[in-house]
A and B are shown apart, each in its own frame.
Chain A
Amino acid sequence: MLRTIAVGRYRISLGALLFCAGVTFWIGNMLLRTGGAGFSALTSSLYFVFLLVLVTSGTRTITIARLTGFYCLGGAMMSAMWLVAMEFTALEGTRYIGREVFVPFMEETLKLAPVAFFLWRQRNSRLWTLGASDVLLMAAASGAGFALVEDAYLRLHGASWTTPIDWLPVASISGDHLVAGHGIWTGLAGATLGLALLWRRLGKARYALAASGWLWSVLDHISNNYAAGLSMRHDDPLHDFLLTVGGHGYFAVEFFFAALAVAIVADFYVIYATLPLGFLPPAPFRFTVEALPTWWTATLERRKFAYLVFRTRATVGRRRAQLLINGALMHQMLIGAAVRI
């Protein structure tokens, strides 16, 4: 059965080819239909992901290809959300509660769902070699993909009532508050989830940490939708309360950047300060175009190894034994790779 196709000196899997074709069709079709509005939404969401990839380049292990997948899954989640929201808000008497509470709750959940599914699927393998910044990146990419679809639609139909911030176009100003946007909301949820998965020594407090980002995102999203809905309903005392608690939307952005910084620092600590000296030979490096991909792959593998070893120290029982076996085999592979290269 044909599983790969030769393209020049490379072989591409049929799955990857189908994925590329699907993404091209999706983005191309969207751009044709939405024109400048769609292009603007696309560039701002990609710019956000690109910035995150850049600042986490010293700690991440997740590949750009994987991130692209999460970006697309986030976009697909928007379609699912649209169907759910239309059904819910169509019911008589549920319009406000639907738009202001149910929609934020569902959106924040659905955007995080691809990441949660991935982590659950990889609970016995890749989960243990991920850094906090990896989970943040996956979640932010999913949120950005989600935002692309929503923003393209809203901007096309002139329904966007917000003004994007120049230096952070995924966030925008709307009247008296800041709208953090889907990328930042989901990124915050991913950051705290990633930190909780990395810092296993926190014990049960990890569960609270893991949920905190998502909870704040839901709260801020509710606050945002409530404020937007208020333009149609006046004199609601909840409006001021929600905006005050959420810092007029600024807290979510501040928390996101704080969580991003903590995730990067934590990952840096794990990668560069927790392995015993001389545990791994120096990463092989030759400054040639041919050797660069090999060096980068080896670098990512070493980071995965560091995350695995770090997590091993906070586990017990059969799980610890399994992680140590994986770590031992990975160590052998890295030593062997260093010698071969």
Chain B
Amino acid sequence: MRVALTGATGFAGSDALTEFARRGFETTALVRTAVTPDGCRAIVGDLSNLGAFAAAAEAADAVVHLASSRSSAESDVYTDIDGTAGLISHWKQGAFLLASSGALLRGLESGYALGKLSAEFALHAGAGAGRRGPAIVLRPGIFLGAGPRRNDRQTLGRVFAAARAGATFVFSSQGGLETFGSSFIGTADFARALGAALTLKQSGDFNVAGGFCTWRELIETVNRCAGTQARFAVRREPPSAPAEVALSQSRSFLDTANFNAATSFAPQQSLEELVEEYVRAEGARQEKPC
């Protein structure tokens, strides 16, 4: 299968390339700088200037769109949406796989979520034309991974940095301390999910996650693996001191039953393993295993 991939150098891109290579796919990747990631043919360009990648997307048996600015700035959101629509216009056959975000299910307060909703809309509005195959949207939980972009606006990177600085995580209620958190997925698991999604014959929106963790579990796991001393505080007032941090005061649980049933996808990366892998990558691993 010939796959046209965007976001190959992004947070989950290298794992996606590994997974596609394992499945024997012939991948052409859109990259912004003249680097060729392992396991693919690279074409330099970006979403607003696809260049030769447009022809690769037209010839591909599937288009996998992972690229995103992950920003809520207006200009970035517009660029992401228009870039996605431009890529969709070059989708001629096979499946189109869009990596959206579980953040959508929390509401549309952020420009990022609105951008993802619009990208999903563009995909579904373009489905069914000509020989186009299924339009598949994957909405992952927060990514946990240890790749080169692990600290690029990722939750685990923020938690780790705060924990290493001895921060206190502030929660608005005791209930929040026990329940607030998010579904998560490891990047390797997400890559496996991408591979599994390419076997789908029907269009659809699917949540994908490897599990759910409360923020407390995540912070305690970081403490355990990295030997940090992050603490918790419960109070109504928002953080005021520099050493205080607040994570999203919500519980974002993704129901993944549909995707797992449709593809037989089974996650393999646990929270413990993912945090340990991250801590190791940061060079902060403790002598004893966490």
Which residues of A pack against B, CB within 8 Å? 275-277, 279, 309, 312-313, 316-318, 320-322, 324-325, 327-329, 331-332
Contacts and interface: CB of A to CB of B under 8 A. Distances in A.
Interface of B: 77-79, 81-82, 85-86, 108, 114, 117-122, 124-129
B117 A320 contact: no
A277 B121 contact: no
14 contacts: A276-B124, A276-B127, A279-B124, A279-B125, A312-B85, A316-B82, A317-B82, A318-B78, A318-B82, A320-B81, A321-B78, A324-B122, A327-B125, A328-B118
A324 B128 contact: no
A325 B81 CA distance: 8
A324 to B, nearest CB: 4
B124 A325 contact: no
Nearest to B125: A309
A328 B82 contact: no
Nearest to A312: B125
A275 to B, nearest CB: 8
B127 A324 contact: no
Residue picked from A316, A322, A328, most chain B C-beta under 10 Å? A328
A102 to B, nearest CB: 46
A175 B211 CA distance: 85
A325 B82 contact: no
B81 A321 contact: yes
A316 B77 CA distance: 15
Contact of A321 (B82, B117, B120, B127): B82
Contact of B85 (A276, A277, A279, A321): A321
Contacts of A276: 124-129
Residue picked from A279, A313, A325, A327, most chain B C-beta under 10 Å? A325
Given A316-B86, A328-B118, A331-B121, 20 more contacts: A275-B125, A276-B124, A276-B127, A276-B128, A313-B125, A318-B78, A321-B77, A321-B85, A322-B78, A324-B81, A324-B85, A324-B119, A324-B121, A324-B122, A325-B81, A325-B118, A327-B118, A328-B114, A328-B122, A332-B117
The 3 closest A-B pairs by CB, nearest first: A328-B121, A276-B128, A321-B81
B219 to A, nearest CB: 34
A317 B85 CA distance: 9
Contacts of B82: 316-318, 320-321, 324
Contacts of A322: 78
Residue picked from B81, B126, B128, most chain A C-beta under 10 Å? B81
